[in-house]
Amino acid sequence: MSVMSSIYAHAAKKATNVSLAEGLLAEAKALRINVSQAAEAGVARAVAEKRAELWLQENREAIESSNAYVDKHGLPLEKFRMF
């Protein structure tokens, strides 16, 4: 179980309709996969990926500025590195 899906493991549940390819649903049932849990894990993963993408977009300018500083001046405490 991923960290994101474990956050929601004991949260209140809300019924929803989801459309899935018939063959995929039949195979999941044949393999005794809990479709609700699998769907929740997939949505949790998509949420985490989207949050990470948005964070990078929101912080891109600061990241680029920091990288430019290091490119120009090196790491601030580089002389103390043990490797």
- Print the SS3 string covering 2-28: CHHHHHCCCCCCCCCCCCCCHHHHHHH
Which position has the token pair 């809990």? 34
pLDDT at 6: 74
Which tokens hold the place of 78?
């580089």
pLDDT at 49: 98
pLDDT of 15 > 70? The answer is yes
Q: Give the Cα-Cα-Cα angle 18, 53, 59 (nearest 5 degrees).
A: 150
pTM recorded for the entire structure:
0.73
Q: State mean pLDDT over 32-41.
A: 96
Which tokens hold the place of 46?
């998509």
Indicate the pLDDT class of residue 1, thresholds 50, 70 and 90. low
Q: Cα-Cα-Cα-Cα dihedral of 16, 21, 22, 25, to 10°?
A: -60
Element (H, E) at 73: helix 35-73
pLDDT of 53 > 90? The answer is yes
